[in-house]
Amino acid sequence: MTTAGSHPRVDVVIPCYNEVSVLSESVERTLELFYRNPQYDWRLVIADNGSNDGTSELARELEIKHKQVSSIVLTVKGRGIALREAWLKSDASVVSYMDVDLSTDLEHLPALIKMVADGDHDV
């Protein structure tokens, strides 16, 4: 999907399981990247899969605080299930994911998204 401003919509899914201690910082760092790269209509989707430590409640708070954040709560554990559900619900032109600990350097994400959005590559 391309939005009214003709910026491709990009969903970045962060699958979570009991990540209340790191989720806020990871969301803030990811949103900073989004703000520095306005060529896309970014959306961060927190996919909580069965947490019991308050992660889903924090995800809802972050969703209320930031318009670019949404969350889904699943009762079944598993990264694959979380990604599948988030991607099936997405209307974005490009879907991707990041681990909640941001173990992959965020600075590489815009280049990856550009290759996919431009139709040069798919994954």
pLDDT one-digit tens code per residue, 13-45: 999 999 999 999 999 999 999 999 999 999 999
Where are the domains positioned within the chain?
9-117
CATH code for residues 9-117? 3.90.550.10
pLDDT, average across residues 74-88: 91
- Split at pLDDT 50, 70, 90, the class of 123 is low
Residue 3 has pLDDT above 80, yes or no: no
pLDDT tens digits for 40-52? 999 999 999 989 9
Supply 122's token pair.
């798919």
